Amino acid sequence: MLVHLTQSCSLGCPHCMQDAKPSNNHMSRETAEKIADFCRESGDFLITISGGEPLEHPQALELIHYFAYHFQLVTVCTNGIELLDKEFFAKYEKLPFNVATQISTHRDFYTSYSRLKEFKSLEKKLAFCTVYDMDFARTDTYRISSQGRAINMQSQRKSPSCGNMILVANQVSSWCSLITEIRRKRYFCTPSVGFNGSVYLGESWLCESIGSINEDTDTLYRRTQNFRGCNGCADSKELLFRGLRQLGKVL
Ligand code: SF4
Ligand code: SF4
């Protein structure tokens, strides 16, 4: 699961597909524990922690530690700013060995791009740390979905991120087998869970929620099978419908 630890982020990038803002909502410890139970019941053992900016959560280290104790691998997706604080970094580097770090920046979109060299230095200091300079990789808008504040961008990503979940759900027989198959296909960012436990088939909390972690997984599985996308990235719905037609699920 991709876990949105917080809706806060002080950078406020123009391309944010989450519409993260400073001083927004944070996930409670109680919800984090329920999410861990939900993931285990779903047969998931890989957690991706995102936000907003997850390291702006006041209990970020405590919660990452908690997830690392319960799961095989925890990947923290961050803009890297908090890690440049020496005091914070000294605590962060003591997290368990199964915590990986992914730092993202982009010349055109992240106000933090000027600190790229400092981010790169962290790759050597942390055991499993990757810095994505998306501009250097010439991916440009490739990785930026047209959701949230990025809705009007010329994204090259034309398939809605909920599509994988819907298409696979129509080929397997339960929520657990859906999650297993999605991981086997190396899709690690869906489904996603919001700060309050809402479940989304896409990566963004602006996607339409299919329910909550407090509901039973059979209900979530049936809703996933029948979900047909929303208007959030409607330009790409045709691809989803083409896949469903091939499965004989729509006329
Ligand atoms: S894209 Fe990332 S760094 Fe930028 S505002 Fe959104 S959460 Fe923050
Ligand atoms: S179609 Fe809607 S639910 Fe699906 S990924 Fe796009 S915004 Fe999210």
Q: 9 CA distance to ligand 1 centroid (A)?
A: 6
CB 54 near ligand 1, within 6 Å: no
Which atom of ligand 2 has the smallest separation from the CA of 200?
A: 3
Structure tokens at 93: 């580097």
- Indicate the pTM of the whole model: 0.90
Q: For atom 5 of ligand 1, which residue has the closest CA? A: 12
What is the CATH number for 71? 3.20.20.70
Q: 173 CA distance to ligand 1 centroid (A)?
A: 36
- The domain tally of the chain equals 1
Q: From the CA of 12, which ligand is nearest?
A: 1
Q: Is residue 74 part of a domain?
A: yes
Q: Is residue 251 part of a domain?
A: no
pLDDT in tens, the chain (251 residues): 999 999 999 998 877 888 899 989 999 999 999 999 999 999 999 999 999 999 999 999 999 999 999 999 999 999 999 999 999 999 999 999 999 999 998 887 888 889 999 999 999 999 899 998 876 555 544 455 656 666 656 555 567 889 899 999 999 999 999 999 999 998 888 999 999 999 999 988 988 999 999 999 999 999 999 998 886 775 667 777 878 888 887 76
Q: Is residue 25 part of a domain?
A: yes
Residue of 23, 79, 103 with the most ligand 1 atoms within 8 Å of its CB, for mutation: 79
Can you give the C-alpha Rg of the chain in angstroms?
18
Q: Is residue 157 part of a domain?
A: no
- 5: closest CA among 72, 73, 53? 53
Q: Is residue 114 part of a domain?
A: yes
**Residue numbers of the domain that contains 35:** 2-139+189-227
- 79: closest CA among 63, 96, 56? 56
CB 208 near ligand 2, within 6 Å: yes
Q: From the CA of 147, which ligand is nearest?
A: 2
Sheet holding 99-105, edge to edge: 129-133, 99-105, 73-78, 46-50, 2-4, 192-193, 198-200, 209-212
